[in-house]
Structure 1
Amino acid sequence: MGRIRSFVLVAVALAGGLLGVSTADAAIRGKVVEYRDGEVTMKGYLAWNDAVKGKRPGVLVVHEWWGLNDYARKRARMLAELGYTALAVDMYGGGKEALHPDDAGAFSSAVMKNMDLMAARFRAAMDLLGKQPTVDAGRIGAIGYCFGGAVVLNMARQGLDLKGVASFHGNLATAKPAEPGAVKAKVMAFNGGADTFITPEQVGAFAAEMARAGADFRFISYTGAKHSFTNPDADAYARKFGLPLAYDAAADRDSWDEMSRFFRRVFGR
């Protein structure tokens, strides 16, 4: 499959397989959904599979610092292909997207520096997802990319009632480390070994924090992979803005497969 993962901090037994719904059988549906955080209208994207009958787990997708764009919507539809109902979350409000790193940094910083705002917007999306007729509200998980990876990790730290969270090239640092016993969700974090935004010290601190909290967690690092390794647009962003990003097809495939097995385990299907 190409480059192998360089290390795993905590070994977890994973059940194989997806949800038994092939892409050929999939009847994927998607729509824009509006919900509110106080006075702010949020514009998310809901995706589900009509070939799956009855209620099924729901998964929140938190976007990169660019905002809720086609990439986040694509991941929601990919989760629907696995048999879940997925909601691509709007963390900025109004479906706002950034076209330049300066704007993306400003939008993401406004949320990252206000944990109450972050939690309120995430909870609003979680509440909407749980109310969908196709969703078992007792089985909700979350994934996030870059900025979104940091968001889902912070929501796990705060003890939200999530079955599992998976962070892809997300920031591991936090202003509010998890307290012992606080983390209810099982946690997976995927990072690139050549990601210059994530230092070895941050990786070590994250592992120590999760261990102190008594969390069920697993960390996978992909040797040579850079930041945004899951996003095929990363190379274009790197060229256009001079950012240390790069797509890595092997790491993208492997991390998605690992995430799929992870959710099968935590959801019990």
Structure 2
Amino acid sequence: MTTASQPSRPIDTGKAHPARVYDWLLGGKDNYPVDEAVGTQLPREARDAARQNRQFMHRAAAWLAGQGIDQFLDIGTGIPTEPNLHQIVQGIRPTAKVVYTDNDPIVLRHAEALLVSHPDGVTDYIEADVREPEGIVRHARRILDFDRPIALSLIALMHFITDEQGAHDIVRNLVATLPSGSYLVLSHAASDLYPELAAQVTAEYARAGIPLAFRTRAGVERFFDAMELVPPGLVTATEWVTAPATSVPEGSGVYAGVARVS
């Protein structure tokens, strides 16, 4: 079953949006010239980071489904790019339920057409902002059973939320709604791995009116406070693998981790 909330705002094609810039970086076509203008000014490594981030999501989602997790709340979904999270997890657990959330109306338009659930599962979508977590959780409770483990997915999202906007408190409050045995899946751009590139990316987004808050490893680790990081812990996106690596991982400026809620 696939359901979706209706968009409440018109699509603003005059201002770049993170989901559409990310789509451009991944080679997608669902973006506007204003988004492409930002993407073309970013260093080549930004495209690598987008690809690495997406691949981490695939690996983490498959691992969680393999652990028996069949409920997912994915905030900051982005424009659908196959395979999307529900396709990964429902390929392993056909009855899995996935609630997607993003704050760009164009994402909902594409979600309605592309986020088609497995017949035995559920795929739902809500247009909402992570800075208003209460509304997200209220909607998600209509689909997900908050008495059973849930995977909360925040992929390449929280570096768009500044400390002044309470980034760590937002995640802490979201995690507090989850039952024991749930998981937090999070990836986040690093400020300390490739500082010059991070500064360049931050400056280009700022010119487009999009503030960024890249963080150090310690700053990203704070999102996992009071949780148990699963192996290999908090590492770069390319290092997050659940089987022994057979080669040296590609360099990455993105931190990634999965942690269990106790």
TM-score, normalized by length of structure 1? 0.38
Comparing both structures, which one devotes a greater share of its residues to strand? Answer: 1
